[in-house]
Amino acid sequence: MKRIVVGTRKSPLALTQTNWVLDQLKKHHPDLEIGMEQIVTKGDRILDVTLSKVGGKGLFTKELEQAMYDGTVDFAVHSLKDMPNEMPEGLMIVAITHREDPRDVLISRGGVLFADLPLGAKVGTSSLRRAAQLRAARPDLEIVSLRGNINTRLAKLEEQELDAIVLAAAGLERMGWSDKITERLSPELCIPAVGQGALAIECRSKDADVRELLSVLEDPATRRIITAERTVLGKLNGGCQIPIGAFAELEGDELRLTGIVGSADGAILLRETATGHDPVELGNLIATRLIEQGAGAILAQVREELSH
């Protein structure tokens, strides 16, 4: 193949991530010509409603996947945390890249740490998962809905007179903005989103040539980690808009996996940790234990609230 076309979202972070992927590809395939299609997704268009209320899976992926079906692009680059668990027919995640720092971070006015935020501090996030865990740790906090790309959210910290905002470390690092981070939140306080920090490269299953080209981007260790996390999400039938988190790490050859399910108000936070070698078995074990603790009822309640 001499030419290939990538589909990407238009946000500065999405373009930065896609260009990084293209740089990696060109190292392996120096003669390859790569075109780029910038596509606006539903999640990018609807910015005045919290993500959880917009509803539906694939808010940031569907239009890119449609472009692959239509043949206008050959592959797409996604933040893995935006990928629904069930893959559309005829498409596949051909490669998962090496994972950057998966943690959430606090960016606060005046460099105040999370534990030292004033009573009743206003903290901005659009994520029910983050909100549930932050409220569980600090019931006094006022969680303020925050949408938009990284640049917009950073601006809103000042504009809306928030005390702090919570973002993913990986996005800030990819943009070269690590200096803006006040504190990296430990997974003990805030379990990250499933797949946070890794990129997913998606293409048509039938395109053997494209699959072979893109396979150089695969990081096998990250694939194992992400498989464990996504298994939890799949068994709990969760999307990225539901308060579910899962975080796996490799300890030698063994996986250590923690999963959480919370009520949106943070009053209930279920947490399970286990170790094992098989990522699917481990993910199913954690999800089953969370269900035994009552995760199903909590998630049903959240879905009910979001549907109104």
Instruction: Select which of 74, 82, 104, 207 is catalytic.
Output: 82
Give the C-alpha distances (Å, rounded to integers) separating 19 from 34, 97, 175, 251. 10, 13, 12, 31
Contact 13, 60 (CB under 8 A): no
Contact 76, 83 (CB under 8 A): no
CA atoms of 251 and 173, how far apart (whole Å)? 24
Please calculate the CA angle 45-171-154 and round it to the nearest 5 degrees: 65
CA atoms of 234 and 31, how far apart (whole Å)? 39
Neighbours of 128 (CB within 10 A): 23
Neighbours of 179 (CB within 10 A): 6
Parallel/antiparallel/unpaired status of strands 104-108 and 183-184: antiparallel
Please calculate the CA angle 22-78-24 and round it to the nearest 5 degrees: 20
The pair of three-digit structure tokens given for residue 18, joined into one six-digit string: 């896609």
Q: Is 82 a catalytic residue?
A: yes
Contact 169, 192 (CB under 8 A): no
Q: Which residue has the tokens 């006022």?
A: 142
Residue length, the chain? 308
Catalytic residues: 82
